[in-house]
Structure 1
Amino acid sequence: MTQLDSIPRRAGQVCILGSAEPGSPAYELAGAAGEMLARAGITVVSGCGSPATRVAAERALAAGGLVVSIVPSDDIGLKDWPCSVLIPCGMGDARNLLMALAGDACIVIGGRAGTISEVCLAWLHRRPLLPLTGCGGWSDQLERNPPDERKNSKILSWGSVDELKGRLAELGL
């Protein structure tokens, strides 16, 4: 056994990208996904800027998980942010690159313009994409309509937490 063998392996990290409104099926699945990731020992990375990403972080924390939040502002004093670690990047929307790079994979729920930019950046940097399907929003179309023709990374759709677990297992997470 070498010294390196005794160093603990980094836990998997999964970014939660997207948007969904409270009460919608996508919002409920976002929360359930956050909880499942925490119970699996996977670090949740979230900007907590939308209700869906925020509920994923809240449910991950409630389940005893680790949540890293990368926020666009430079304010380290955010008091109501659901996270274990707060990273205020002070870069505004340029923060989307950090979000795209911070995960071993990116869960995509619904989405608006900011989510699309994160998805394209994740695609360019070869991060697997896990779009929620069956709940509306453009994440429903991501597998059929990827960012471009390059096949940079896997796109593995899911419609239930059990399917998401299987997709994460396919990725070794």
Structure 2
Amino acid sequence: MSAKFATYIAVVGPSSATHRELRIAEEVGRLLAKRSAIVLCGGLGGIMEAVSRGATQAGGLALGFLPGVDRFEGNPYLTIALATGMGELRNAMLIRAADAVIAIGGSWGTMSEVSLAMRTGKPLVAVRPWRISGNLFHSNRRIRVVRSARQATDIASMASSAATRAAPSLPGHSRSDPVDVWRAYELAQKHYESDLQLFSTRMNLFLLVQSALVALTATLASQNVKEFDAKTVSAFGLLLASGWFVVAASSYVWIHTWRLQMIKLGLAAQEETGVSTSSAAFDRHTRRDLHIGSRAAKLPEVISWYVRPTLISCLLPLLFIAGWIYIGWLRL
């Protein structure tokens, strides 16, 4: 890709950073290089050196805006070192040259770059930022606070791509803010996973209770207790299995509703920005092709075995219902 049409992402952060922040910065550089983005930084040590190392080792470009007049004061991983001789004023050049900004960690110098990004309207993503003035970062909707390097690169790439795409919007068609689309995408994912977790918990509980009732019924039958007692247990099991079926069916509907919403939002983000949605919110899951109508898109999806047991679990209560009817009224 020509440098003229590439995405320029500025990665800012302190020279003195924690080991975790340095690892995040290096991963950010590596992921940006894989997206063919050009990494901009302050050119010195700490976060700047880590992101440069990640980018160049992945075959990307790292451009450093140095505060002094000596190009050799830059870190050894820079592809291009620009000796501005402007001191801290080089922060303004760095931010102005970027399509989006990723801030990792915090320092007073980093705060100045964050302020410049806010002032100039650059898309801004923060990873492990400072918490000051009533949690400024988390309360400001223009600053996207994330936890991982992949989330940071995904959102920064989408936001910068949307800001720099040449194709104008058609009359009557309003373009969505890619960061808002991403927020909705993550919200749908959270609902999806929480519903899956809740369904799994309920399923385990129901199976435990049903198994206990089956064991109790078998015991009553083996001890030749009165028919009324066995029927009472069977009636309770039948009632519980019927309620289980209603809960399982409604949960199945909600789970697939959120799943379709995730797919819709993923396609919207891809269409708005031209950047394929990666597995930022799904690092621990696999990917597969999803076909919607005539369109096929490579989008992240929770591992497929979650869906099949959900469908089977909707039918499992029916088996228990049939079993209780047989045990309580046909067999006994």
TM-score bracket, normalised by the shorter chain, equals: 0.7 to 0.9
The count of corresponding residues between Structure 1 and Structure 2 is 158
Alpha-carbon deviation of 1:59? 1.2
- After superposition, give the CA deviation of every residue in 1:50-101 in whole Å (9 maximum; x if it has no partner): 4112111011001110111000001134475321111111011111111221
- Which residue matches 2:22? 27
- Give structure 2 stretches of 5+ with no counterpart: 162-332
Distance 1:88 1:67 in 2: 14
Distance 1:142 1:13 in 2: 26
3-state SS in 2 of match to 1:143? helix
Structure 2 counterpart of 1:89, one-letter code = T
- After superposition, give the CA deviation of every residue in 1:112-169 in whole Å (9 maximum; x if it has no partner): 1111111111111111111003xxx4069453355xxxx7xx3222211332243135
Distance 1:27 1:81 in 2: 16
Whether 1:94 and 2:89 are equivalent positions in the alignment is yes
3-state SS in 2 of match to 1:67? strand
3-state SS in 2 of match to 1:171? helix
- Which residue matches 1:159? 147
Structure 2 counterpart of 1:40, one-letter code = R
- Relative distance call for 1:13 and 1:79 in structure 2 (3 A) is closer
Distance 1:162 1:80 in 2: 24
- Give structure 1 stretches of 5+ with no counterpart: 1-6
If you compute each CA radius of gyration, which structure gives the higher value, 1 or 2? 2
CA contact (8 A) 1:12 1:42 kept: yes
More helix by share: 2
Whether 1:64 and 2:59 are equivalent positions in the alignment is yes
Question: Taking structure 1 as the reference length, what is the TM-score of the superposition?
Answer: 0.79
3-state SS in 1 of match to 2:82? strand
- Relative distance call for 1:76 and 1:23 in structure 2 (3 A) is closer
Question: Taking structure 2 as the reference length, what is the TM-score of the superposition?
Answer: 0.43
RMSD: 2.5
Whether 1:122 and 2:117 are equivalent positions in the alignment is yes
Whether 1:84 and 2:76 are equivalent positions in the alignment is no
Structure 1 counterpart of 2:146, one-letter code = W
Percentage identity across paired residues of the two chains: 25
CA contact (8 A) 2:22 2:46 kept: yes
